[in-house]
Every structure is written in structure tokens, then in C-alpha cells.
Amino acid sequence: MPIGLIAALAMAAAPAPDPREVAVTEAVQRFFDAMAREDRAALAQVVLPGTLFTAVELAADGSPGTSRFSVEDFARNLRPGLDERMWSPRVSVRGDMLATLSTPYEFRLDGKTTHCGIDVFTLVKDRGAWKIASLAWTREPAACDELKARR
């Protein structure tokens, strides 16, 4: 059997993506897009009010340190030049109630990569739309090569 035919059959046999997983991924992408555009109104449409964000990074002594802040504080501190990109997201959905999305990401500021890491989003269905209920991430300046190799 020709290799092209085998590849075509394999692609035809691939299951269709779960529309709920697609919707969750699109909600997270809208968050990144709003962040890049400094669009606080669009951000507010995809994140529940009062949502807490948690950043984790290693301190100089190697111990993990965390910082926590509200989505409102995050929105107030948006600035030009922010660009976050994800790849290979893993989505888990429970009914039309709860979902998680974890993904490696690259964060750029003014076109320059500052760090990479792992994002973990929790989303809930609110009035028919997936909304971010929490976000935690690692901030790892030295992990970009390792994480990008997972693409």
C-alpha cells in the first residue's frame, strides 16, 4: 500500500475533536488575545470576576515562591507588547460544568522571549460560556528549549 494512502487513511480514522474541548481551548485563546490587545473588556468576558491568579517560580536559593493576585489587578497592569503563546494543550471536560486546560507556553515582551512555563486553567460554564475560574502558571526562564521540544 502506498505511504500516501496509509497517511490518508490514518488521518481519516482520527476522531473528530470534542466540541467542548475546542470551546475550552478557544476561551483560553481569547484570554491570550485580549491580553495582547490590552482589551480589558474582552478579558472580563472570559474570566470570572474575582478570579485569583497564581504564579510559581524558583527563588535564587532554589525554593519555589508564589505570588497571587486578582484578575482585576492583572487587567490594570496590562501593557503594550505582551504576547503569550500556547501549544499542545491538554483539555479535560466534565459535562458542561467544569474543565481544565494545561499547556506549555512562551511569554514574549516586545517581541523578546522572557520565559516559558506551564499554564493550568480551570474553567466553568457560566451562562452558556466557558469562563476562566482560576489560573496558575510556572515562570521558568531556562525551560524554553525543553518545553518547545514537546511541540
pLDDT single digits (tens) 39-75: 999 999 999 999 999 999 988 788 889 999 999 999 9
Domain ranges of the chain: 16-148
Q: Residue 85 is placed in which grid cell?
A: 503563546
Residues of the chain with pLDDT under 70: 1-13
The reported pLDDT for the residue numbered 1 is 47
> What pLDDT is recorded for position 9?
55
pLDDT of residue 60: 77
Alpha-helical segments (H) within the chain: 3-13, 19-37, 40-46, 71-76, 144-148
Pick the CATH number of 16-148 from 3.10.450.50, 1.10.390.10, 3.40.50.280, 2.30.110.10: 3.10.450.50
Rounded to 5 degrees, φ, ψ at 85 are -125, 135
pTM beyond 0.75: the answer is: yes
Query: Side chain identity at 124, as an amino acid letter?
Result: V
The pLDDT value recorded for residue 12 is: 58
Q: In terms of Cα–Cα distance, which of 139, 136, 114 is closest to 68? A: 136
CA angle at 67 for the pair 101 and 54, rounded to the nearest 5°: 15
